[in-house]
Structure 1
Amino acid sequence: MAFQLVRLDDDSLYEHIFERYVELERHTATLKQDLGIQQRDASTLEIDIEPPEPSDEVVRMKKSGRRRRKGDRAAEDEGPRTYDERYSVVVEQSLSDLNSSVSNNNSTTGYVLWSSTPFFLRWLLYSAEAQPFRNGNVAVEVEGASEDTIIVPGMYTGAQGDVGILELGTGISPLLASVLCNHVSGYVCTDQRGILNKLKQNLRENVSQITRRRCVSASLDIENESEGTISEELEEPSRTRRKLTVRLEVQELDWEKFSADVPHPYLDQLATECETVYILAMDVIYNEYLIGPFLRTLSALRDLFGKKQTRVRCLVGVHLRSQDIATRFLEQAVVEYELPVHSIRGAAVDQSRYALYLVN
């Protein structure tokens, strides 16, 4: 069953926050009670992204030859998958910089991998709830708004046209880019200058995970390095060679300094080559001081892509730590910046320590 959307306004956002933190209390026994660093005692992580094991009920159904029927809850919970995708991404963290008081102007959280990123990626790739993002142009039910449904554009390049991703606050993690570059036509990773060298190193080390497309990159000095293993049955016969290529770039983007009035060649390229751009921001809401700069940048980017006639959507993942920080983020986003924020509701998300928001 696909996720549902709840439109948040200056009243419903408080009810939403209350319900999410009540849900956290309900699942305290099964949720980690930490800040959310994936692993803070290892410099090198190997993150396996692979489908979850099917439930015993689904295994029995397959053995018996029973077909999926509409309304079959056990089958629907497993959900259809686009591909049986498996990845193994190596992430080199910088623990010394994480604990430094001088690195990157004392902004050090980006030097490690945070658990919200692998959670979101596994949800996107494998969960039945996330099917609208994989398939594209799916009508999703909306609560608390005048419209009954919203047509959600897919995050994968396909019949709907080329899709690009702009990631804000990437940090040193190559995880999202290394995996999602298999499905999109363009990907731009961004963060502050002090983070970028380590990020580039990690991306180069994991370019072998991009097997479904040829990867080219000016900022990483990659030209046709990954030829891919694309099979004909996965691609439309009419698709041009350009559409079987992903352009992966890294760009400095500081929220406190960003201006849409100066040239941004990689962003312009993304807008020119893609009909749809998704802005991804995972676990960037943790400090009240940064909420305003983040939302100013997000609003400016939406305007920038909108002026170029590029359809833009934003997905923000929040690790639910401080209730005050989460509330302040939604207050500013909904009330001050008047952004069309929707909470993504589904069993997998609701039972996690994370909240996902679609800015439509």
Structure 2
Amino acid sequence: MVFQLLSLDEDTLHEHIFERYVELERNSANLKQDLGIQSRTGTTIEIDIEPPLLTTATKTIRKKKKNKVKQNGSRTDIELYNVVVEQSLSDLNSSVSNNNSTTGYVLWSSTPFFLRWLLYNDESEPLRHPSESIKVVNIDQDMIKIPPIYSEINDTKVGIIELGTGISPLMAVILSNHVDYYICTDQRGILNKLKQNIKENISQISRRECISKSLEIKRSEIQIEYESDTIESNENKKRYNRASKTSTVSIEVEELDWEKFDISVNHPYLNQIRDDCDTIYIIAMDVIYNEYLIEPFLNTITNLRKYLSKNTKGTAVIQEVKCLIGVHLRSQDIVTEFLEQAIINHELPVYSISDSSLDASRYAFYLI
């Protein structure tokens, strides 16, 4: 069974919030009672993103496959990722870093949770591959189709724009295996550390060749790396042939301050993703935690949707623009205000994604 959607409006959003927090309380004994920082002790943390381990034998097989991927970057049918994140606990606790906006300097738990759900959960299948329409449970006989994030299945071009990426490369390097364009955005003070972390984990993009202007990665450099391998072997030749034939992903890092975003200014990377992609997803994980950021964030979402719906000549583009917003359920008042402003003030079509694993977690995911 796949996930269902709950259509939220001015009447249903408060009932949704009430039920979600009742469920949260019911599952409190099984959930961590913290703010959601992945690690409060380490500046270097290692994150494994892999399917749930069912047996000892399965664990051994997956460990061997993961080690093989880490050694040579080759593709495996079972998606296994090992990402090392350099975070800055000192900047997190600083009162001056990045104009007092410091939460992006560490990895938050919502991102690994979302990736494991998206990659491995049977109920998230419609976001991976084309599927039948998704049921909207609170509207009689209503079904909607949503485009998959993966582009390799139905031969369409898919781009992702991530808002509030922070210093973590986790989402970017993993989802870049399945999309054609990926743009990471955040405030200027975050970007150098983010670029460094992406480069350190670039081998995790094993299903596509990565090219990037902002990271200064060219396709020819990747091919030279394979060609200059000192060990002549059939395995190396296979790796080179695979690398030379595979699809590419363009991954870029760009400054985007929600309070200063101007759609009248030229944005080359956004232009490229707008003009080349059939489907665009705007993704943001755990950016709803402060009441003062809600309005700038929603203004950015609204302006981006307008910006991405027109090409350089100003005419409408036939494409899908969707938003996936992950929220760590902390303050009930903050989540309520976010939904009220999104639905009432900005008149955005908001759906809550519901399935058994999400409903038992302390995260909520919304589709716009």
For normalisation by structure 2, the TM-score amounts to 0.85
Contact 1:280–1:316 at 8 Å: present in 2 too? Answer: yes
Q: Which of 182, 185, 190 is the equivalent residue of 2:180?
A: 185
Deviations 1:293-343 (A, max 9, x none): 000000000111112313200000000000000000000000000000000
> 2:303 is paired with a residue of what secondary structure?
helix
Contact 1:305–1:311 at 8 Å: present in 2 too? Answer: no
Show the counterpart of 2:235: none
Q: Which of 305, 320, 325 is the equivalent residue of 1:311?
A: 320
Aligned-residue offset at 1:147: 6.0
Query: Is 2:340 the partner of 1:331?
Result: yes
Show the counterpart of 1:320: 329
Q: Which of 127, 143, 146 is the equivalent residue of 1:133?
A: 127
Show the counterpart of 2:202: 207
Show the counterpart of 1:41: 41
Residues in 1 aligned to 2:28 and 2:201: alpha-carbon distance in whole angstroms: 35
Residues in 1 aligned to 2:245 and 2:255: alpha-carbon distance in whole angstroms: 26
Aligned-residue offset at 1:83: 4.1
Contact 2:111–2:170 at 8 Å: present in 1 too? Answer: yes
Residues in 2 aligned to 1:213 and 1:50: alpha-carbon distance in whole angstroms: 19
Query: Is 2:137 the partner of 1:143?
Result: yes
Residues in 1 aligned to 2:222 and 2:150: alpha-carbon distance in whole angstroms: 19
Show the counterpart of 2:281: 278
Query: Is 2:149 the partner of 1:155?
Result: yes
Corresponding letter in the other structure for 1:86? L
Residues in 2 aligned to 1:128 and 1:306: alpha-carbon distance in whole angstroms: 32
Q: Which runs of 4+ in 1 moved over 3 A?
A: 225-229
Query: Is 2:15 the partner of 1:6?
Result: no
> 2:192 is paired with a residue of what secondary structure?
helix
In the TM superposition, 1:158-173 aligns within 5 A as 158=152, 159-173=154-168
Corresponding letter in the other structure for 1:269? Q
Change (3 A) 1:33 1:259: same
Show the counterpart of 1:295: 298
Residues in 2 aligned to 1:162 and 1:121: alpha-carbon distance in whole angstroms: 20
Change (3 A) 1:55 1:318: farther
Aligned-residue offset at 1:242: 9.3
Show the counterpart of 2:106: 112
Residues in 1 aligned to 2:16 and 2:248: alpha-carbon distance in whole angstroms: 41
Aligned-residue offset at 1:55: 7.7
Change (3 A) 1:55 1:132: farther
Residues in 2 aligned to 1:220 and 1:90: alpha-carbon distance in whole angstroms: 18
Residues in 1 aligned to 2:327 and 2:222: alpha-carbon distance in whole angstroms: 33
Residues in 2 aligned to 1:243 and 1:346: alpha-carbon distance in whole angstroms: 34
Corresponding letter in the other structure for 2:26? R
> 2:6 is paired with a residue of what secondary structure?
strand
Identity among equivalent positions (%) equals 62
Deviations 1:269-316 (A, max 9, x none): 111221100000000000000000000000000111112313200000
Change (3 A) 1:264 1:242: farther
Corresponding letter in the other structure for 2:333? D
Show the counterpart of 2:69: none
> 1:138 is paired with a residue of what secondary structure?
coil
Q: Which moved more, 1:124-133 or 1:142-151?
A: 142-151
Contact 1:210–1:226 at 8 Å: present in 2 too? Answer: no
> 2:136 is paired with a residue of what secondary structure?
strand
Residues in 2 aligned to 1:50 and 1:262: alpha-carbon distance in whole angstroms: 40
Show the counterpart of 1:175: 170
Change (3 A) 1:217 1:242: farther
Contact 2:4–2:136 at 8 Å: present in 1 too? Answer: yes
Q: Where do 5+ consecutive residues of structure 1 fail to align?
A: 60-81, 230-240
Corresponding letter in the other structure for 2:306? D
Aligned-residue offset at 1:143: 2.2
Q: Where do 5+ consecutive residues of structure 2 fail to align?
A: 59-75, 227-243, 312-316
Contact 1:185–1:243 at 8 Å: present in 2 too? Answer: no
> 1:307 is paired with a residue of what secondary structure?
coil
Q: Which of 259, 262, 278 is the equivalent residue of 1:259?
A: 262
Q: Which moved more, 1:300-309 or 1:260-269?
A: 300-309
Deviations 1:243-272 (A, max 9, x none): 800000000000000011100100001112
